[in-house]
Amino acid sequence: MPRWGQRRARTALIALVCLAAATAVRAGTDAVEAGNAAADPAIVSAWRTLRAADCARCHGKDYEGLAAPSIVGFARSQSREMFVTAILDGNPPRGMPAYRDNPHVADRIDDIYRYFAGRANGSIPDGPPSRGK
Task: For residue 77, give its domain range.
Answer: 38-133
pLDDT at residue 24 in the model: 41
pLDDT at residue number 13: 45
pLDDT in tens, 104-129: 999 999 999 999 999 999 999 988 88
Query: What's the CATH number where 59 sits?
Result: 1.10.760.10
Query: What's the pLDDT at 117?
Result: 97
Of residues 27 and 2, which shows the higher confidence score? 2
If asked whether residues 23 and 51 sit together in one domain, one would say no
Confidence of residue 10 (pLDDT cuts 50, 70, 90): low
Q: What is the 3-state secondary structure (H, E, C) of the chain?
A: CCHHHHHHHHHHHHHHHHHHHHHHHHHHHHHHHHHCHHHCHHHHHHHHHHHHHCCHHHHCCCCCCCCCCCHHHHHHHCCHHHHHHHHHHCEHHHCECCCCCCHHHHCCHHHHHHHHHHHHHCCCCCCCCCCCC
Count of domains for the chain: 2
Residues 15 and 46 in one domain: no
Q: Quick one: what percent of the chain has pLDDT higher than 70?
A: 71
Statement to judge: residues 20 and 74 lie in one domain:
no
Higher pLDDT, 11 or 93: 93
Same domain, 70 and 125: yes
